[in-house]
Amino acid sequence: MTVAGHAVGGPAFRNRSDAGRRLAKELEPLESLRPLVLALPRGGVPVAAEVARSLGAPLDVIVVRKLGIPCQPELGFGAIGEGGIRILDRDLIRQAHLTGPDIADVEAKERRELD
């Protein structure tokens, strides 16, 4: 079923390449700015590859690791990346009652994976 030209109840895209092609169309006005397209490994690379190809832009991959709450690892309270990048969600850390040692333990484990 479609409403105003949009699929309702089904997948928004056939696959990640389809998503990338559609995103690239939206980003066409940026082509003259000679953008660099950055992708997250795994799922983001097929999307970004289509965008880069369409815009004639270089493609690079950013390697990051999510910092997950110990009792609910899929809920990220932050992320770390190459070059010592570290981003934390202070509100979520407070809400989850995470301590400094909790954060350090999770970050050390993810830093090993990142390296």
Sign of the Cα torsion 46, 48, 54, 59 reads negative
Task: Indicate the pLDDT class of residue 9, thresholds 50, 70 and 90.
Answer: low
pLDDT for 6 equals 57
pLDDT for 15 equals 93
Q: Is the pLDDT of residue 3 over 90?
A: no
CATH code of the region 8-61: 3.40.50.2020
The average pLDDT across 41-46 equals 89
pLDDT for 70 equals 95
Q: Is the pLDDT of residue 71 over 50?
A: yes
CATH class of 64-114: alpha beta
**Domain residue spans in the chain?**
8-61, 64-114
Q: The whole model's pTM is what?
A: 0.68
Q: Is the pLDDT of residue 10 over 90?
A: no
Could you please report the per-residue DSSP string of 74-106?
A: EEEEEEEEGGGEEEE-HHHHHHTT--HHHHHHH
Residues with Cβ within 8 Å of 14's Cβ and at least 6 positions away in sequence, in order, are none
Q: Matching CATH topology for 8-61 and 64-114?
A: no
